Amino acid sequence: MVNVSLKSTEDIEKMRVAGRLASEVLDFITPHVKAGVTTGKLDALCHDYMVNVQGTIPAPLNYAPPGHRPYPKSVCTSVNHQVCHGIPGDKLLKHGDVINIDVTVIKDGYHGDTSRMFYIGEPSIQAKRLCESTFESMWRGINKVKPGATLGDIGHAIQSFAEGNGFSIVREFCGHGIGKKFHEDPQILHYGKAGAGMTLKAGMIFTVEPMINAGKKDIRMLGDGWTVVTADHSLSAQWEHTVLVTDDGFEVLTQSAGTPPMPASLS
Ligand code: MF3
Ligand code: CO
Ligand code: CO
């Protein structure tokens, strides 16, 4: 049973604040994301900024959806062939790595959820192509959002661009409705058929967060019960925004001074 909520004006105003704060955590951490730092240190810096500077709650910390042990850290850090939900620890970042940092804050009871890719030094040509294609895939999906469009329109835009570039889409994880709950209906698949699926209505809020692999789409879960990796150990990338369906299109809620702009080719 799918139960999609339409947000009120008050909900939307609070989601704008939560979204901006989540994005500002990524702005804050950006200068620290460099060779020689550990993912655990990045987590500790983000945690302190959220709790002590912003007065936000890190939503991942102790998050325990059915079938999962509680997530032990405040952000997710997924390096190279890690697809998502990497647990920060003593892994040292080194030149040539790529890392996704995924931040979800709770402010005033509302969630803001966003992630970006970062390069450690100079990325390989393939890593740069993967990260840039994933960014453009996310934006091609977001660009489809308006009342009357369907979830399949979003998934199709993402899948056709990514696969057209020779990459593959992870199927097991998807975007999600978000609000007072971290993960709500509907599921936002990052693949699909144009015109298929639920029709979008003004007031819906959900994430678009494609996970795209340089090799095959298959994944494995590590023994920590959270970290997802590519089965073939190929590189994986992800970007995420939280998006509101407006009367005539969309508004990206996870925006701040440091948010990378939509690719100029799409505007
Ligand atoms: N932020 C992730 C998402 O985009 C969810 C992370 S759940 C956690 O949906 F427990 F791993 F943090
Ligand atoms: Co999300
Ligand atoms: Co996220």
pLDDT in tens, the chain (267 residues): 899 999 999 999 999 999 999 999 999 999 999 999 999 999 999 999 999 999 999 999 999 999 999 999 999 999 999 999 999 999 999 999 999 999 999 999 999 999 999 999 999 999 999 999 999 999 999 999 999 999 999 999 999 999 999 999 999 999 999 999 999 999 999 999 999 999 999 999 999 999 999 999 999 999 999 999 999 999 999 999 999 999 999 999 999 999 999 999 998
Among 46, 50, 176, 182, name the best residue to mutate to test ligand 1's pocket (greatest count of ligand atoms within 8 A of Cβ).
Answer: 182
pLDDT score at 1: 81
Residues 257, 220: contact at Cβ < 8 Å? no
Q: Which atom of ligand 1 is nearest to the CA of 226?
A: 11
Q: Rounded CA gap, 152 and 156, in Å?
A: 6
Domain 9-252 class? alpha beta
Residue 87: DSSP 8-state: P
Among 82, 113, 224, 242, name the best residue to mutate to test ligand 1's pocket (greatest count of ligand atoms within 8 A of Cβ).
Answer: 113
- Residue written as token pair 């890719």: 117
Measured from the CB, is residue 184 less than 6 Å from ligand 1?
no
Q: Rounded CA gap, 100 and 168, in Å?
A: 17
CA distances from 104 to 30, 96, 97, 183 (A): 16, 26, 23, 11
Q: Rounded CA gap, 56 and 108, in Å?
A: 8
Residue 45: phi, psi to the nearest 5? -65, -45
Residue ranges of domains in the chain: 9-252
pLDDT score at 117: 99
Spacing, Cα 73 to ligand 1 middle (Å): 11
User: CB under 8 Å to 68, separation ≥6 — which residues?
Assistant: 225, 226
Give me the sign of the Cα torsion angle 223, 70, 174, 145: negative
Measured from the CB, is residue 71 less than 6 Å from ligand 1?
yes
Q: Which residue minimizes the CA distance to atom 4 of ligand 1?
A: 113
User: CB under 8 Å to 46, separation ≥6 — which residues?
Assistant: 25, 28, 29, 58, 74, 75, 101, 103
Q: Which atom of ligand 1 is nearest to the CA of 209?
A: 4
Measured from the CB, is residue 104 less than 6 Å from ligand 1?
yes
Q: Rounded CA gap, 257 and 225, in Å?
A: 35
**Which ligand is nearest the CA of 84, by number?**
1
Query: Is the preceding peptide bond at 186 cis, omega within 30 degrees of 0?
Result: yes
Cα angle: 28, vertex 62, 228; to 5 degrees: 75
